[in-house]
Structure 1
Amino acid sequence: MENVANDGLWAPAGITPAQTGTEPNAGGLAAHLGSLDDLGGLLAREKALVFRGFGVQPGELDEVMDLLLPNRLAYVHGNSPRTKVGSNVYTSTEYPAEYSISMHNEMSYAHQWPARLLFYCETAPHTGGATPVIDGTRWLGCLDDEVREAFAGGVRYSQNLHGGMGLGKSWQDTFETAERGRVEEFLGASGADWKWQPDGSLRVTQLRPATVTHPVTGDEVWFNQADQWHPASLGDDTAKALASIMPAEELPQSVSFADGSPIPDAYVLQIRDRGLDNAVDVDWRRGDLLLIDNVLVGHGRRPFTGPRRVLVAMSD
């Protein structure tokens, strides 16, 4: 296996038909995966794997996913705009092509998060559109001591989920159900606080840590989405526009320190910018797959031109 980057930084390990001695097709990849004794151990060591040159077609994806993701999960309580396109298979975050998506670990704001993420390139963009990935230990280490110490007590996430019309996602889309009882059962098990509002919307508040320790490697990693939930990350003009029409507590999502005190703009901008600056880009070709350990590795998206369709699935 070879690292995708060659500048001395950590990078995902690349796996090709030539390296595995298999045919350059989905069957060859499936044969290689079936021969592995411990895919989980390999992923924990390498943190991320890029399967390139196997030419996996959309109709062949399920066979490969079943080997890479033993228990595919639904995107329940996910906050990103996505479209479900198969059996617990989704489009990657649907966000305007001209913008970057900052680094994050999937659903790090939730009480449970997927252990693995699998990305599949169905259509490669004309330019750009790489998926940047970052070693979570590097992300933690590149932040100022002041920032790390400020987040030591954790963070408080707040969501306002409308009931069918409004800004952001509805609670029905977020929890993939229209039954309030199922939502309450899920939230009760997660330790979240919630309140149904008179207009049919739902407010959810959760306290979560800012860092976690990987259960296999013991590495402490940066593991929160404070920068993505903070209005400062939207840019000055957008943040000012939102502030002019609604208070922070009414935004679709917001974040504070665990005690409710505000997080300074400068902190979240440092987290966002240093995450992107220290990431390694995985450029896409049709049929590529990227498997990441969702605790050890954060991911994002670079701007692009042309059509880009990258699908994502996750497992525990």
Structure 2
Amino acid sequence: MGMNPAWKPCEINPDSISAGSGAGVAALVDWLDGTSGLRDVLDREKALVFRGFGVTEEQLDPVMDRLLPNRLAYVHGNSPRTKVGDNVYTSTEYPAEFTISMHNELSYAHSWPARLMFCCVTAAETGGATPVVDAELWLASLDDEVRERFADGVRYTQNLHGGVGLGKSWQDTFETDDRDSVDDFLATSKALGEWRRDGGLRVTQLRPATVRHPRTGAEVWFNQSDQWHPAALGDETGAALAKLLPADQLPQSVAFADGEPIPAEYVLQVRDRALAAAVDVDWRPGDVLLIDNLLVAHGRRPFTGSRRVLVAMSD
């Protein structure tokens, strides 16, 4: 599938599915039940916005059942969020005044969700859009020098405390307090785990920087090097912490696959070009956004007021 610089998510509303079908959740569910080619539609459009159906938090389950064939737990996730239902979570709980840069969910992990679904329960007073970017366009936007240096992949390191400390605990990260279960998970995911004397856990994993979509064949930028690099931290606390601690003692850090440091200018280029190419999904209460997690990266714009956006994922 070719790169499309003018790409934006496809909006589906009550008028576009069937005149007179109604505007409620039941109409959306009926349409999804009658759409056998949703995977093909998502392969082609990359992201779908369902708008005008008024989906509430209480009505979300039947919609998720159809959009997400096999809902996944957010295991080994590195961002702070709260579980609010059966594998349903709040979107990343990060201070409202900061931008969350573009990323594909769990791109640093051995396995990742194929689809993500977001539902807006409460729209922010101002701002708070979810920017999305074509990950094939993101890759093409980078300088040849950057793409070539990342060709062998990246090395991620997490320092997860055992209950008290900076960042996330290993218990929250893996949704268990059983060390054997964590060891089994890490072995399966080809990650190296090192239990520390203070009860913490260091996890190191080598991952690719790009992947190819299994059906479209598109090669996409697919890593979180910029989000794990001190130079690209968007908040003052994180930046100050990076000056105080060596990279290998931070809650998370990243290097090239060979262990060499990634230059700051590389990750800033990666971060800034994705944000510049992104298209904002401006939320209205009841909106649902479905994205292909390989073909599309997402982020969050700063906001004021209350904002509640729920997220779930599927293989």
Q: TM-score category by the smaller chain?
A: over 0.9
CA displacement 1:209-231 (0-9 Å, x = unmatched): 00000000000000000000000
- Residue in 1 aligned with 2:206? 207
Q: Quote how far apart the aligned CAs of 1:285 are.
A: 0.2
Q: Quote how far apart the aligned CAs of 1:234 are.
A: 1.4
Q: Which amino acid aligns with 1:311?
A: L
Q: How does 1:32-71 map to 2 (within 5 A)?
A: 32-71=31-70
Match of 2:7 among 7, 10, 14: 10
Aligned 8 A contact 1:101 1:300 in 2: yes
Q: Quote how far apart the aligned CAs of 1:243 are.
A: 3.7
Q: Quote how far apart the aligned CAs of 1:239 are.
A: 5.8
- Of 241-250 and 192-201, deviating more is 241-250
How many Å separate the matches in 1 of 2:65 and 2:234?
40
Alpha-carbon distance change, 236 to 302 in structure 1, aligned in 2, over 3 angstroms: closer
Aligned 8 A contact 2:89 2:312 in 1: yes
How many Å separate the matches in 1 of 2:208 and 2:245?
28
- Residue in 2 aligned with 1:102? 101
Q: Quote how far apart the aligned CAs of 1:37 are.
A: 1.3
Q: How does 1:169-184 map to 2 (within 5 A)?
A: 169-184=168-183
Q: Quote how far apart the aligned CAs of 1:58 are.
A: 1.4
Q: Does 1:309 align with 2:299?
A: no
Aligned-partner SS, 2:29: helix
Q: Which amino acid aligns with 2:8?
A: A
- Residue in 2 aligned with 1:4? none
TM-score of the pair, normalised by structure 1: 0.96
- Residue in 2 aligned with 1:260? 259
Q: Which amino acid aligns with 1:67?
A: R
Aligned 8 A contact 1:120 1:289 in 2: yes
Alpha-carbon distance change, 240 to 83 in structure 1, aligned in 2, over 3 angstroms: closer
Aligned 8 A contact 1:43 1:293 in 2: yes
- Residue in 2 aligned with 1:3? none
Aligned-partner SS, 1:173: helix
Aligned 8 A contact 2:98 2:234 in 1: no
- Residue in 2 aligned with 1:288? 287
- Residue in 1 aligned with 2:141? 142
Unaligned runs of 5+ in 1: 1-6
Aligned-partner SS, 1:33: helix
Aligned-partner SS, 1:114: coil
How many Å separate the matches in 1 of 2:195 and 2:56?
44
Unaligned runs of 5+ in 2: none
Q: Quote how far apart the aligned CAs of 1:173 are.
A: 0.1
Q: How does 1:229-248 map to 2 (within 5 A)?
A: 229-234=228-233, 238=237, 241-248=240-247
How many Å separate the matches in 2 of 1:64 and 1:145?
42
Deviation beyond 4 Å, 4+ runs, structure 1: 235-240
CA displacement 1:41-94 (0-9 Å, x = unmatched): 111111000000001121110011000001100000000000000000000000
Q: Which amino acid aligns with 1:11?
A: K
CA displacement 1:235-266 (0-9 Å, x = unmatched): 59556522443211100000000000000000
Q: Which amino acid aligns with 1:166?
A: G
Alpha-carbon distance change, 34 to 255 in structure 1, aligned in 2, over 3 angstroms: same
How many Å separate the matches in 2 of 1:75 and 1:144?
33
Aligned 8 A contact 1:232 1:239 in 2: no
Identity of aligned residues (%): 69
Aligned-partner SS, 1:122: strand
How many Å separate the matches in 1 of 2:151 and 2:5?
30
TM-score of the pair, normalised by structure 2: 0.96
Aligned 8 A contact 1:58 1:122 in 2: yes
Aligned 8 A contact 2:231 2:239 in 1: no
Aligned-partner SS, 1:218: coil
Q: Quote how far apart the aligned CAs of 1:157 are.
A: 0.2
Aligned-partner SS, 2:205: strand
Q: Does 1:88 align with 2:87?
A: yes
| Equivalent residue pairs, number | 310
Q: Does 1:19 align with 2:7?
A: no
Aligned-partner SS, 1:134: strand
Q: Which amino acid aligns with 2:124?
A: P
